[in-house]
C-alpha cells in the first residue's frame, strides 16, 4: 500500500507541473480550453492532493484516507447530480455520457476507499491545538460559502472571470474540500490533520505570488475584493501550516512523540 500511495502522489505532482506550465498533454485532460489562472488553480489542487497522498504513504497513516475519500465522494456526487439535472445544457461543454460514467466510477471508487479505511485507527492520535481546530472551522465555513456561490455561478466570487462550467466544477471542488476540513473538525487528531496542512500549504505557496502579481497588474476592479480576501486566507493558512508542520515541536511533519 505504501508504494501505491507514493506512486499516486508522484503522478499528481507530475500533473501539477503539467498544468502549471500549461503543457499540452496536461491541458488535454481538462475538457475545455481555459485561462492561465484557471490552469494554475487546477495545478494547485493537484498539488494539494499530492502532498497528503505522499504523506499518507510515507507515514503509513492510512486512517487519513477517510477524509480524502469523503472529499472526493462529495465532489463527484455533486458533479454527477449537476450533470444529470442539467443534461441538455452540458452537451455544449462535454460529452455527457462519458462525464457521467467517469463521475459515477470515481464516486464508487472513493466510497470503496472510505469503506476500506473506515476501521483503521490513527497512528498519531494526539489532539490538535485549539487555534488549529478553530481555524479549520473558519476554513470549512469559507469553503461552503464560496463553493455554493460558484456552483450557483454568482459573479465576482473568484479573483478572475470564470467560464460557467469552470465555476461549477471549481464550486464542487471547494465543497469537497469543505467536507475534508469538516472531517478534521470531527476527528481533530494529528494523524488526520498533518496531511491536510501539508496539502493546504502546498496550495498556498503555489498561488500566493501569482495572486500578488495579479493584484498589481491585471485584476479587474470588480474582482479586487475577492482577490484581497483570497490572498488573506492564503497567507494566514500558510503561516499556520508552516508553524505547525515545521516549528511546533510536537507536530512537526514526521515527529513522533517519545513514549
**140-184, pLDDT tens digit by residue?**
999 999 999 999 999 999 999 999 999 999 999 999 999 999 999
Residue 131 phi/psi, 5-degree rounding, is: -60, -45
DSSP per-residue codes, 220-237: -GGGHHHHHHHHHHHHHH
State the pLDDT at residue 252: 75
- Tell me the average pLDDT of the chain: 93
124 and 61 in contact (C-beta within 8 Å)?
Answer: yes
Cα separation of 170 and 158, whole Å? 10
Confidence (pTM)? 0.93
> Mean pLDDT over residues 43-70, rounded?
96
Cell numbers 473506515 correspond to what residue? 118
DSSP per-residue codes, 102-121: HHHHHHHHHHHHHHHHTTPP
When pLDDT is cut at 50, 70 and 90, the band that residue 94 belongs to is confident
Cα separation of 23 and 18, whole Å? 5
> Mean pLDDT over residues 45-69, rounded?
95
Helix (H, G, I), strand (E, B) or coil at 127: strand
Cα separation of 43 and 207, whole Å? 9
Cα separation of 202 and 1, whole Å? 24
* Cα angle value 113/115/120 (rounded, 5°): 95
Asked whether residue 247 carries a pLDDT value surpassing 60, the answer given is yes
Asked whether residue 259 carries a pLDDT value surpassing 50, the answer given is no
> Mean pLDDT over residues 218-222, rounded?
94
Cα separation of 13 and 258, whole Å? 33
When pLDDT is cut at 50, 70 and 90, the band that residue 254 belongs to is low
Asked whether residue 251 carries a pLDDT value surpassing 80, the answer given is no
When pLDDT is cut at 50, 70 and 90, the band that residue 258 belongs to is very low
Amino acid at each position: 500500500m505504501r508504494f501505491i500511495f507514493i506512486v499516486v502522489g508522484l503522478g499528481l505532482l507530475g500533473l501539477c507541473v503539467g498544468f502549471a506550465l500549461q503543457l499540452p498533454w496536461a491541458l488535454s485532460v481538462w475538457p475545455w480550453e481555459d485561462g492561465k489562472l484557471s490552469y494554475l488553480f487546477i495545478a494547485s489542487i493537484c498539488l494539494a492532493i499530492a502532498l497528503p497522498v505522499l504523506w499518507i504513504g510515507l507515514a503509513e497513516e492510512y486512517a487519513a484516507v477517510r477524509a480524502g475519500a469523503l472529499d472526493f465522494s462529495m465532489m463527484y456526487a455533486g458533479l454527477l447530480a449537476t450533470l444529470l439535472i442539467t443534461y441538455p445544457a452540458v452537451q455544449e461543454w462535454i460529452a455527457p455520457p462519458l462525464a457521467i460514467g467517469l463521475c459515477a466510477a470515481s464516486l464508487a471508487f472513493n466510497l470503496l476507499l472510505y469503506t476500506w479505511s473506515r476501521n483503521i485507527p490513527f497512528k498519531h492520535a494526539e489532539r490538535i491545538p485549539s487555534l488549529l481546530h478553530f481555524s479549520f472551522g473558519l476554513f470549512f465555513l469559507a469553503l461552503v460559502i464560496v463553493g455554493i456561490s460558484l456552483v450557483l455561478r454568482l459573479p465576482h466570487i473568484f479573483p478572475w472571470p470564470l467560464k460557467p462550467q469552470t465555476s461549477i466544477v471549481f464550486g464542487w471542488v471547494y465543497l469537497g474540500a469543505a467536507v475534508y476540513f469538516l472531517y478534521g473538525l470531527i476527528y481533530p487528531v494529528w494523524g488526520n490533520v498533518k496531511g491536510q496542512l501539508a496539502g493546504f500549504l502546498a496550495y498556498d505557496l503555489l498561488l500566493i505570488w501569482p495572486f500578488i502579481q495579479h493584484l498589481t497588474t491585471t485584476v479587474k476592479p470588480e474582482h479586487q475584493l475577492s482577490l484581497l480576501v483570497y490572498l488573506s486566507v492564503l497567507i494566514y493558512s500558510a503561516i499556520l501550516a508552516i508553524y505547525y508542520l515545521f516549528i511546533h515541536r510536537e507536530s512537526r511533519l514526521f515527529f513522533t512523540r517519545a513514549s
